[in-house]
A and B are shown apart, each in its own frame.
Chain A
Amino acid sequence: MFDIFLDDAPALVVVLPLLISAIIAFMPSKIWPWIISIITLLLHLFLSLHLLKEISVSGLIIYEFGNWEPPWGISFKIDGVNIGLQLLFSIFVLVSTFYSRKIFLNEIDYRDSGKAYSLWLLAVGSLNGIILTNDIFNLFVFLEISALASISLIALGAGQNRKALLAAFNYLIIGAIGATFYVIGVGFAYAMTGTLNMNDLVIQLAQYSDGQLAIFAGMSFMLIGLMVKAAIFPVHIWLPPAYSYAPSAVSTLLAALATKTILYFFVRLLYEVFIIYPSYLSLFLDFVLYPLSLLAIFIGTVIAIYQDDIKKLLAFSSIAQIGYITLAFSLKDHSGVASGFVHIFNHALIKGGLFMAVGYFAILYKDRVTLNSLKGFGYKYPITSFALLICGLSLIGLPLTNGFISKLYLFQALYTNQMYLSIALVAVSSALAVVYFWKIVEQMWFSEIKFKSEKEDAYIYLPIWIVTISIIVFGIYSTPIIEFSNLSADYLISGYQN
């Protein structure tokens, strides 16, 4: 009986959250929207696992909507590149939804919880669409749905701090400009090739083997648009306020997954489509993406050191971490792309865990968490604090955590490309990361004020610890992440070398 549904699994992982979001939008209840969301996301995880099983047999699924064959119809493509991300996405969304209930109840009016979960599922469905879609215009639609849903979610933080409205507004304006740039690029590409399907685009672009100005203009527009959306330095300015003033549960979801899915599409566009013009690609990677990544790593880290507000500190460290990912992607070879994917996986877990722990502190402290307010929290709330400590150590890249695996693979990739200067710079910036994280640790454990430990809420610290334990597990036994990343790199780079 379920077979009918399983055949449509690629569509359902996107459509199911979108449909349910419409249903729960006007539920006035406190708890039902959450229960329905959890059930939906359990089904979502089940479908993702089914997709994984299918992929391990066939290696490639092209799902045609309405049985219109691609280049004409819209299609979803699932292959080695995105299956790992799909699985991570599914699992992390489930965990963060589990975590979100108590947080939402504390931060927003309970009558709004139906609407909040409706937007939440809308964001989940559309971000999932970004992972799966194989159509460049369809991507724009998903980009905008996810952006509008996350803007509304960020604006929900206005109950706590009215600056959330300004953050949401800035994100709206900058995000819409980015998306419109992307659409201009799509227009150029369509004008030259008459197709929107990514696989067909490669075939059609081959006829302009020497390259045409219109195509290069279109490609540049698309890349810049996506860079804005993925918050790659220097077009990241919308991100820190948006992440820091959003409700804590929302920052968790956005920081862990939103920019990652867009980065994934960015790299897929680079290595699957624009690979046709190797000279353009290497120009972009060597002279735009590579220097910007190094700048992002440094400036993000340095600004983070001077932040007093913990959520802002984490947001700026996100900018730096996105810099690491794009640095890895700019290396143009298998090891580089693989290490980029490794860091996408690991950073999603690390930042998710950090934002979860800080979000819980914000509720306990009933105000914005600043460095001063953390005094003695290590003794007051030991369970959550210890999770925060492990996530933070992983962010720095200490052995036995998954952050170390990321750094190891990044160094290896840089080493095989003989970029010794970059190795030194990355090492220095890791050391700088110790500075800002140590400030937190110092306040939490080494201040004079001592507290007795207080009771913590198991509904909140369980999800935090699930993430934290996965950080340690993947730090010791990293094979799954490495395999998924190598698989992604294999698919992407095989096109490059031919």
Chain B
Amino acid sequence: MVGGLFIIITSQNYLKKVVGLAIFQTAVFVFFVSLAKVLDGTAPILTKMANAYSNPLPHVLILTAIVVGVATSALGLALVLQIYKNYETIEEKEIESLELKSDK
């Protein structure tokens, strides 16, 4: 999780920022899934052999969150593509210097 945030903050490349965001979000998904584990629990399927089940609800929540994450990444990548088409670079510093020039 911290790794993902670190990438978002430090990297100058927009593409890397999107990837960092994905890592950050995945870490939170894993956190949720780990919450669901019940000691000695099995998959929540009704059988006679099991006496404890893991909690399926966090899995369901994360299924939703994964979809949201995919949409976020997709939109982020689409934006990076458009930025590249408009600026011909996706490095933050180069874009900043381009903008400074165009402001003058």
Name A's B-contacting residues (CB within 8 A): 137, 140-141, 144, 148, 151-152, 155, 158, 162-163, 165-166, 168-169, 172-173, 176-177, 179-180, 183-184, 187, 190-191, 196
The 5 closest A-B pairs by CB, nearest first: A162-B86, A144-B68, A169-B79, A191-B35, A165-B83
Complex Cα distance, B24 from A177, in Å, reads 8
Q: Is the CB–CB distance between B8 and A169 below 8 Å?
A: no
Contact status of A190 and B75, CB under 8 A, knowing A166-B83, A169-B80, A180-B28: no
What residue in chain B is nearest A184 (Cβ atoms)?
B28
Q: Is the CB–CB distance between A172 and B72 below 8 Å?
A: yes
Q: Is the CB–CB distance between B83 and A177 below 8 Å?
A: no
Contacts of A196 in B (CB 8 A): 61
Q: Is the CB–CB distance between A177 and B65 below 8 Å?
A: no
Q: How many residues of B contact A (CB 8 A)?
A: 30
Q: Is the CB–CB distance between B75 and A152 below 8 Å?
A: yes
What residue in chain A is nearest B75 (Cβ atoms)?
A148
Contacts of A163 in B (CB 8 A): 99
Contacts of A162 in B (CB 8 A): 86-87
Complex Cα distance, B34 from A191, in Å, reads 10
Q: Is the CB–CB distance between B72 and A169 below 8 Å?
A: no
**Smallest Cβ distance from A101 to chain B, in angstroms?**
25
Name B's A-contacting residues (CB within 8 A): 5, 8, 14, 17-18, 21, 24-25, 28, 31-32, 35, 57-58, 61, 64-65, 68, 71-72, 75-76, 79-80, 82-83, 86-87, 95, 99
Contacts of B8 in A (CB 8 A): 173, 177
**Given A158, A177, A190, which contacts B82 in the complex, CB threshold below 8 Å?**
A158
Q: Is the CB–CB distance between A180 and B32 below 8 Å?
A: no
**Smallest Cβ distance from A358 to chain B, in angstroms?**
21
Q: Is the CB–CB distance between B86 and A165 below 8 Å?
A: yes
Q: Is the CB–CB distance between A180 and B25 below 8 Å?
A: yes
**Smallest Cβ distance from B95 to chain A, in angstroms?**
7
Contact status of A190 and B79, CB under 8 A, knowing A140-B65, A144-B71, A166-B95: no
- 20 A-B pairs (CB sep. < 8 Å): A137-B64, A140-B65, A140-B68, A141-B64, A148-B71, A148-B72, A151-B75, A172-B72, A172-B75, A172-B76, A172-B79, A173-B21, A173-B76, A176-B21, A177-B8, A183-B32, A184-B28, A187-B32, A187-B35, A190-B35
